[in-house]
A and B are shown apart, each in its own frame.
Chain A
Amino acid sequence: MTSALALGAIALTAASGLAAALPGLRPARAQALATAALCAGAALGLAAAAAALAGGEAAAGGALRVDALSGLFLVPILGIGAAGSVYGLRYFPQAERGARAVRLQVFYGLAVAGMALLVCAADAIGFLVGWEVMALANFFMVQTEDEDPSVRRGAFLYLAATHAGTLALFALFALLRREAGSFELEAMEGLRLSGPTAAAVLALAVAGFGMKAGLVPLHFWLPPAHAAAPSHVSALMSGVVVKTGIYGLMRVTGLVDAPPESWGVALLALGGVSAVLGVAFALAQHDLKRLLAYHTVENVGIIALGLGLAVLGRARGIPALVVLGLGGAGLHVVNHALFKSLLFLGAGAVHHATGTRELDHLGGLARAMPRTALLFVVGAAAISGLPPLNGFASEWLVYLGLLDGLRQPGGDLLAYVTLGAPALALVGGLAAACFAKVVGVVFLGSPRSEHARGAHEPPAAMLAPMALLAAACAAIGLFPAATTAPLARAAAAWARVDPALLAAPAARAAAGAARVSAVAAVLLVAALAVAAWRRRRLAGRVAPAQPTWGCAFAAPTARMQYTGSSLAALLLARFTWAIFPRRTEPRLEGPFPAAAPFATAVPDTVLDLALLPVARAYGWLAERARLLYLRRIQFQMLLVLLTLLAVLAWGFAW
């Protein structure tokens, strides 16, 4: 039953885009039909996910198999997919964009279906088919506005990166097949790997899945591609597509029996580095969508931290670590999908209203777009891990897992794992700083340019999905205890242990989570009480509004406000070992200096400072290495002939 539902979801979402291309329909109606088909498919799939998460055996049928881990990933894939497609009704209307919107709709449905297929696939072939459908559909979606060179560049980079990753996956599954004797995931379960095979499996999994997930240093494709895509596609890519990499990592680490400890340590290290560097890179950005994309790198790092803990827990046989690590990682997968999509949709609304994504050209949008501003603030607080929102709930689980190391006696490995907690605290502080910058510079203060002055609230079809996502963020944050049972089931499915074994630590986590709800209630009551008291206190005593006090300066302008760059400058000074900003500073000379431009640019350390120079040097070498007469067709024919002869000779000799 469950797998039939999943199959229906995959078929319906895959075909949904075709409705947009139906001849004879008015464009708006065709798009609405396509969206309705996608939402119906999503509803089917969510029912399957709910059934899988509510317990019950892994439902197998044909090439599909839906267990609790698949269910956990189906929720964001289909939920965000549906929300984004509703948003697209007004953000990318077919009535105005014509064929381009049709193309986008077709690939959007294919991408969602591809992801649903890959998380439900019962064998490696099905997985890779879903993976490639998703990857290619994404490429075409990023390409949508291809008249812009930066879009073409982002799309190409994405294509190159995703295929480099796929190559690693081919090798990975070939290796696993050699060990297990079959491409069936079920046959691969219980593999015992050790030594070089284990190392190779992890290296290939990290290269292939880590590339998609955006773990540092494989994140380089992510910011350009996410910035280039239309906003609801960015939301899908950043919130959901990168999670398929996480799903792959989880699936593969879950397959093996007693994974080596070194896997856990490697994932923890990768996660920690990604989290800290991701947020540091984000702080440096001027472009709203690039900044959000770098935060994905950060959050994927947090997820990898949780997964690393869970792997360590299985290597050591500690159920608490499995529940807290995988539960934290799994909940963060869902949570990040919720708040990151909310933020990207908010960024889309800002772009829609102002025509710019440049932070320092915005400002004061909270007056013109109060609803968007409120929803964006909710997303910003959630991604910064602030209570009482969902980001806190999942980070808290990961913290608990890390802290579990403190209970271990002696200077054991696990005790040192605890040091991940201060790292997570640093990441939380930096994320809060970064989002204070984003919200402050984009929505607060006064408008910095004409772009920002002409802003307007987006239509209801764009606001409604955002409101829904914000409500989901608040709901999970207020009642985290409700999530522990499904998370424990996902952890049991991942570790392939009896759920009863994980029940005790899951119950402890649920009890703590219930207390988090209690404190959240105290917080809400206190805030409402203080707000009501303040309102009564001030009734009738508010003087007419005045300009902001400018320290007695009589003619302040909006350009004197603190900019995003100046807000982050003090913190970035701490990260010059990882970020190398380029500045062009004017030299002011003479008593009446002329107007002088000042600019800073932040290259991506991996892409712009390492990969591209190497690629350029390689191109230069290749140019030099090409012999003059290699350009003649006669000589090339000769080479082909000689090669052929050599191959024939080799064939006959053996």
Chain B
Amino acid sequence: MNAPMVLRTALHVVALLVLPPLLLGVINRVKSIVGGRRGPPLLQPYLDLAKLLRKGAVYSRTTTWVFRAGPVIGLAATASAGVLLSMGGAPAPIAFAGDFVLFAYLLGLGRFFTALAALDTGSSFEGMGAAREVTFASLAEPALFLCLLVLARATGSLSLSGMLGPDLDAAWSSAAPGLLLAAIGLFVVALAECSRIPVDDPNTHLELTMIHEVMVLDHGGPDLALILYGAAMKLFLFGALLSRLVLGHGAGALASEALFLLGVLAFAVAVGVVESVMARLRIVRVPQLLVGASVLSAFALVLLLR
């Protein structure tokens, strides 16, 4: 690895670690503006995290080490998934054929332990959240894979860096309809995986209709900070995927960097707009939405398989 590569990899890691909470700030700001309010400052999520980090913790008598491991593994798995994604002008630090399988399963690892931590409290409330999370996740998984298969077929590459790399621009000119459908499918998957409206409502904790937020009710202090930060990072990863998919590379390192940041911010704005104009779906409708996304992506794939 030569010096510029090291620098770019370092930048990549810094971006992955620093930027995610900003997306939450942007989403909240967009929601406030659409709702006619001024809204909290853009950097509020950072302040929230800092506040949580200053707190201590209370644990339930029912819980075991699994409860404490949940947030740690959740964050570590999401962060290592980020290592497989190219950001800005930098290629992914680690790339290989079939790495997107690892990407999806690392997110699955985080989810598995978050769900276990929820079940560890013995609260029926959190059990309900865990049940919903694993249910919707297992339906989102095929949709995610179908989207990525479309990308793989269009670019002829089996690694995330290749799929979102220079070949993508050429693919857009030859297979635009399929890629567009895949992008829509991926957006729906992103909303579901990151527990945003219309699948989940990240703002209300006390409704019996919630999914992710219910699972983390008994976490507090630094543990909750890890969870919130990990969730923001996951959102950032999906934003990065979509940004690359839709905007492609710019010419030159600086331009591609700028384009990438712009894309991620645009993703946050889009999520904010969706959250402002839509209500959360009824729980029984969510599987239909996810199956719909799968069907859409499967159709895109069949278009490309011809």
Contacts and interface: CB of A to CB of B under 8 A. Distances in A.
Interface of B: 53, 55-66, 68-69, 71-73, 75-77, 79-80, 83-84, 94-99, 101-102, 104-106, 108-109, 111-112, 115-116, 119-128, 130-132, 134-135, 137-146, 149, 152-153, 156, 158, 217-218, 221-223, 226, 283, 287, 294, 298, 301, 305-306
B62 A422 contact: no
B145 A425 contact: yes
B293 to A, nearest CB: 12
B118 to A, nearest CB: 8
Considering the complex of A and B, which 3 residue pairs feature the smallest CB-CB distances, nearest first? A562-B127, A429-B138, A440-B119
Contact of B130 (A537, A544, A567, A574): A567
Contact of A516 (B57, B102, B128): B102
A100 interface: no
Contacts of A363: 122
Contacts of A542: 56-59
A627 interface: no
A370 B66 CA distance: 10
Interface residues of A, number: 87
Chain B, interface SS category: helix
Contacts of A416: 305
A433 B112 CA distance: 8
Contact of A426 (B59, B138, B217, B223): B138
Interface in A522-549: 522-523, 526-527, 529-531, 534, 537-538, 541-549
A400 B98 contact: yes
A560 interface: yes
B204 to A, nearest CB: 14
Contacts of B75: 526, 530
A498 B202 CA distance: 58
A437 B116 CA distance: 8
Given A370-B64, A547-B61, A550-B123, A387 B106 contact: yes
Contact of B57 (A440, A541, A558): A541
A530 B61 CA distance: 23
A398 B102 CA distance: 13
Given A526-B76, A545-B60, 18 more contacts: A374-B65, A381-B112, A385-B105, A387-B105, A387-B109, A396-B102, A418-B149, A418-B153, A419-B301, A422-B142, A432-B138, A515-B96, A527-B73, A561-B124, A561-B127, A562-B128, A566-B128, A570-B131
Contacts of A508: 97
Nearest to A387: B105
A436 B215 CA distance: 13
Nearest to B136: A570
A546 B60 CA distance: 5
A516 B141 CA distance: 20
A90 interface: no
A439 interface: yes
Which of B84, B105, B106, B158: most chain A CB closer than 10 A? B105
Given A429-B137, A530-B75, A522 B57 contact: no
Contacts of A428: 105, 108, 138, 141
Contacts of A527: 72-73, 76-77
A406 B127 CA distance: 40
A566 B294 contact: no
Contacts of B221: 538, 541
Contacts of B217: 549
A460 B56 CA distance: 37
Contact of B96 (A446, A511, A548): A511
A546 B218 CA distance: 11
Contacts of A531: 69, 72
Contacts of A439: 66, 116, 119
Given A538-B56, A549-B218, A399 B64 contact: no
A651 interface: no
A551 B58 contact: no
Contact of B158 (A400, A534, A548): A400
B285 to A, nearest CB: 13
Contacts of A429: 108, 134, 137-142
Contacts of A433: 134-135, 137-138
Contacts of B58: 542-546
B215 to A, nearest CB: 11
Contacts of B115: 436, 440
A441 interface: yes
Nearest to A543: B58
B94 A422 contact: no
Contacts of B102: 387, 392, 396, 516, 519
Nearest to A415: B305
B219 to A, nearest CB: 11
A457 to B, nearest CB: 14
Interface string A573-606: 0100000000000000000000000000000000
A518 B93 CA distance: 10
28 contacts: A366-B65, A367-B64, A392-B102, A406-B152, A410-B306, A419-B301, A422-B294, A429-B108, A432-B108, A432-B138, A433-B135, A433-B138, A436-B115, A439-B116, A445-B62, A446-B62, A508-B97, A511-B96, A512-B98, A519-B94, A519-B99, A527-B72, A534-B71, A541-B221, A545-B58, A561-B122, A569-B131, A571-B135
